[in-house]
A = this chain, B = another copy of it.
Amino acid sequence: MARPSAKNPTLSLDRGVLPSLLGYVLRRTQSAVFADFAATFAQAGEALTPGEFGLLVLVERNAGLSQMALARALGIDRSTLVPILNRLQARGLLVRRDSPTDGRTHALGLTPAGEKALTRFARLVKAHEKRIASGLSAAETRTLIGLLEKVRASARSL
């Protein structure tokens, strides 16, 4: 019988049930994908997080939306959104204009520089997506996305 302790430097250790847990595999995969995203952008001399990319796309496709609407779409608190918008605005990619109809809200929009940057970003994201899905057929990728959506639907806040 193999004694496990001893000296087992890098050779992966016993993970028990973990590899059969959906939550565990999901978390590890997400972590690796995030790293790949970061590496892809870093290598291109750009800096962006997946969350920022999603935010920019949302603002581009829904110009003039408010921070509350954006926060809801992102599933985060409105107070969490503030520093993120500050950063993007400081980079000159995004603006908070005064809403003509509601004095409380800001009408979010991309600057021309933001539009141009988003085009570059989209190219990098496409390359990143291609790499992480390189082990899958197109059909498998669609299946994977569909299954993930089903999981997300079942995993409600409760």
Query: Which residues of A are at the interface with B, using a C-beta cutoff of 8 A?
Result: 4-5, 8-10, 12-37, 39-40, 43, 50-51, 54, 57-58, 60-65, 69, 72-73, 75, 122, 125, 128-129, 131-136, 140-141, 143-145, 147-158
Contact = CB atoms under 8 A, between A and B. Distances in A.
A157 B24 contact: no
A16 B57 contact: yes
Contacts of A9: 69
A122 B24 CA distance: 13
A81 B144 CA distance: 32
Nearest to A68: B9
Contact of A158 (B36, B57, B136, B158): B36
